[in-house]
Homo-oligomer: A and B are copies of this chain.
């Protein structure tokens, strides 16, 4: 079957920059390409948008297919369409970025035999196409966004300690934060619920666990509250 148009049309794809955080810092999920061009290179998960499919749905589908990652924070990043970005012809890609709880998605082999792996964000291998550029834009967006919106929680386990949260912010913002000031500020926002639980299995005083209260967050958003860190 084939499809014919009066004027030439670019192919439309999606690509996803999937962020995770662990003790080692910020991680990005990549898959190894098994076909030309760039066979054997690492690339962002992504693929073609079906003709009857919402663009964001295509991004979720590709993530699910290639990496088993589902139900995550996903937001449109930017559309990249440089004429020469794909040697096969004009391909325009709508890039998304996603945040996942790394613990829930540890090492996942891809379903279709392609290798998927997490890489440290500042030690990525050479990437296919213009994906290095896309990653740069995504990192800048994450930095900017985390500063003003509490999206960092998407990267942590559902129950977390304040120290984990602070480390997360330090990793994303790439600067150290003062412990006391950080705790004061984050607790003052009243977005966290103090749980009656503490972490376990640590060789030191166990820290209290908190969870993010999404309902309270949404209420505060409606009131125009400011979540700047």
Cα separation A78 to B81 with both chains bound (whole Å)? 13
Smallest CB-CB separation from A53: which chain B residue? B83
Smallest CB-CB separation from A11: which chain B residue? B9
Cα separation A51 to B53 with both chains bound (whole Å)? 23
* Pair B10/A90 contact, Cβ less than 8 Å: no
* Pair A9/B10 contact, Cβ less than 8 Å: yes
* Pair B12/A3 contact, Cβ less than 8 Å: no
Query: Which of A4, A76, A79, A82 has the largest count of B CB atoms less than 10 A from its CB?
Result: A79
Whether A178 sits at the interface, judged by CB under 8 Å, is no
* Pair A9/B51 contact, Cβ less than 8 Å: yes
Cα separation A55 to B79 with both chains bound (whole Å)? 9
* Pair B79/A94 contact, Cβ less than 8 Å: yes
Whether A54 sits at the interface, judged by CB under 8 Å, is yes
Known: A10-B49, A79-B79. A92 touches B55 (CB 8 A): yes
* Pair B3/A2 contact, Cβ less than 8 Å: no
A211 CB to nearest B CB, Å? 29
Whether A139 sits at the interface, judged by CB under 8 Å, is no
| Residue in contact with A6 in the complex, picked from B2, B10, B81, CB distance below 8 Å | B2
Residues of chain A touching chain B, judged by Cβ–Cβ distance below 8 Å, are 1-12, 48-49, 51-55, 76, 78-79, 81-83, 90, 92, 94
8 contacts between A and B (CB under 8 A): A1-B6, A3-B4, A3-B8, A5-B9, A5-B11, A9-B10, A54-B81, A54-B82
Closest 3 CB pairs of A and B: A8-B51, A9-B9, A55-B81
